[in-house]
Amino acid sequence: MILNGIITGLIMGGILSLPVLGVAVIYGITGIPNFAIGVIGVFGGFLTWYFLSFNMGIAILVGVVFCFAIGYIIQRILLTPISERGGDSTLFFIVTVSLGFVFEGLMRAIFPRPSISLALPRIGTINIAGVTVEGFKIFALLFALGTLVIIRLLEEHTEIGKSWQATSQNLKLAKLIGIKTNRVFSIASGIGCALACVGAIFWGSLYNLNLMTGWDLGFLGFIIAVVGGIGNIWGGIISALIMGMVMSFSGYLLGGMWQSVILYFIVILVLIVAPKGILGSERSL
Amino acid sequence: MKGRYEKIGTILILLLPSLFVFKGGYLQEVTGYVYLFLIQGYVAWFLFFKSGQPFFGYSVTMAIGAYATIVLTEMFQWPLFVSIFIGAVLATVIAVIMFLSTSRARGFYVSMASFLLAILFPKLIEALQPITGGRSGLYFGGLTALVGYKTLYLLVIFLTAAIVAFFLWIMGTKTGRILTLISENDRLTQTVGLNTRKYKILAYSIAGFISGFGGALYVNYTGFISSVDIEVFTTLYIFFIPLIGGSKVFYGPVLGALFVILIPELLVPVERYLRIFFGLIFILVIVLLPEGLAPNIQKLLRKMNPKRA
């Protein structure tokens, strides 16, 4: 049971780490807490489901590209101008939650079904120390960890990554040396929303997606990022894996109803005891 | 003087719908519902906008008042008024604990802790289904069975007006002025020798008690509560009441409650598009009219009638 719980927890945490990465990338670079990314990601998941009967690759691409574009546009026309006018975290909280309302409403209005499951091909099963695990779940976990490594490599070794770092560390200086900071912000927001979409696609394939999943993924993504130290990518991933295990074991021991209760309770405790998260935040809210 | 007229005007406007009791029906029912949320809206106006305390747990304090009233009355057979009082006291305790436990954190982290509590609480209610009824909820006769629906409606109107009058009064007192000072510059207030912690605890206590009392009133009026009624969006809608209406004028939350609570009631036939409409309106108001609707309506009226200005 313990091994089963660990594996389930790691996989849950792995999938959750995608929206967490989205939150971390957006917040780490723009300094804006975006609470709508879960809903935008699930909107992308619904789009993928809609086009799935045509071609799987194109369907996934449509969802991910759409989310990137939405992330880019909302940052460009809404969030960056508010930030330039001196908007604080509370204002961004309200604006991004309102954006979430819009996308949740669009899902309700456009798509014929309120709850869907994405039928992606399965990869068979793998036996780990006597526990049979779906290959697709292992793929989801590896994909999440791979994405983290790619983002870290991008950040350290590419021009784009260096401009991200410069923008997040000193905005004025970054502008002075000619970095188009508004573009950097928009790309970061686009990547964050695209990551949330990939997370939603995995979630929709392993469990299901409904109109509220976006809020759950977004809020979970955000609180897990807070526990890890918001804006701190490594902290976010460690926190996602730990929280995945907390959900898995509390589910086994106390039943599914208590999963979220225990999770949120722990997060509130962390906020009270260590407000800057497990590994500390690279920015302060 | 102008402020006094504005306060009296606000209270008189609030008392006007008591006339609906003669008409009864849907109008009366929905007005009572708007007023129950108006109480919570004024709690947010007082605590967040006037005292500067970053609290987002309004649905939690409201729910504690409501559930405590039902559980103590129905399961423990306590007298109704004692249960309502205990419910309000419990909500006060939770609000103060929330403040004390997050006092090491700053700004948005405090908001987040109380907001997470607002996400956690309905899930806790669902996990405690044998006692709370979870999503299926609990039915409650309460005051309706005792005094009848029309009397209860009038009671809701008068109690709301009394609560609003209390908030308007307290903001004019020395305590209110110190709370305003804290919201504008906490450190400066400490520097001049004031014990800001004491005043903050007082603000949380007042807000918690009235929110809990409002929750008890809510469940007596509606006769039902479930985890769906207190989900996280409830806290957001409560917060939007003074934000959309305008927190700088006394009657701002009244306008906000009409907008945030009444419009969804009237737009039930097009419920499918409600969230899109609301999301867009919220964004537009926040971006284009950051002071809220009331001050802008005032400006518009002055432009239309320049002689009065």
Residue B34: burial class (beta carbons within 10 Å; 0-12, 13-18, 19+): buried
Q: Do A94 and B282 touch (CB under 8 A)?
A: yes
Q: Is B282 on the interface with A (CB under 8 A)?
A: yes
Q: Of A215, A264, A285, which has the smallest distance from its Cβ to B108's Cβ?
A: A285
Residue A285 pLDDT exceeds 60: no
ipTM over cut 0.90: no
Tell me the chain A residues in contact with residue B228 when contact means C-beta distances shorter than 8 Å.
none
Q: Of B113, B236, B273, which has the smallest distance from its Cβ to A268's Cβ?
A: B113
Q: Average pLDDT in the B211-232 region?
A: 95
Domain boundaries, chain A: 22-273
Distance from CA of B128 to the nearest CA of A (A): 9
Tell me the chain B residues in contact with residue A246 when contact means C-beta distances shorter than 8 Å.
none
Q: Do B108 and A264 touch (CB under 8 A)?
A: no
Q: Do B286 and A219 touch (CB under 8 A)?
A: no
Residue A209 pLDDT exceeds 90: yes
Torsions phi, psi for A33 (to 5 deg): -80, 115
Residue listed under structure tokens 């708007």: B34
Distance from CA of A72 to the nearest CA of B (A): 17
Q: Tens digit of pLDDT for each residue in B4-48?
A: 888 888 899 888 888 877 777 888 888 899 999 999 999 999 999
The predicted structure's pLDDT at residue A231: 64
Distance from CA of B80 to the nearest CA of A (A): 30
Number of inter-chain CB pairs under 8 A, A vs B: 110
Q: Is B228 on the interface with A (CB under 8 A)?
A: no
**Residues composing chain A:** 285
How far, in Å, CA of B250 to CA of B248, rounded? 7
Tell me the chain A residues in contact with residue B97 when contact means C-beta distances shorter than 8 Å.
none
For chain B, give the mean pLDDT: 89
User: What DSSP designation does A146 have?
Assistant: H
Q: Tens digit of pLDDT for each residue in A31-84?
A: 888 889 999 999 999 999 999 988 999 999 999 999 999 999 999 999 999 988
Supply the DSSP string of chain B, one letter for each residue: -HHHHHHHHHHHHHHGGGGHHHH-HHHHHHHHHHHHHHHHHHHHIIIIIIT------HHHHHHHHHHHHHIIIIIS---HHHHHHHHHHHHHHHHHHHHHHTTTS-HHHHHHHHHHHHHHHHHHHHHTHHHH-TTT-EE--HHHHHH-HHHHHHHHHHHHHHHHHHHHHHHHSHHHHHHHHHHH-HHHHHHTT--HHHHHHHHHHHHHHHHHHHHHHHHHHHSEE-GGGGSHHHHHHHHHHHHHH-SSSTTHHHHHHIIIIIHHHHTGGGGGGHHHHHHHHHHHHHHH-TT-HHHHHHHHHHHH-TTT-
Q: In percent, how much of chain B has pLDDT > 90?
A: 55
Q: Do B54 and A101 touch (CB under 8 A)?
A: no
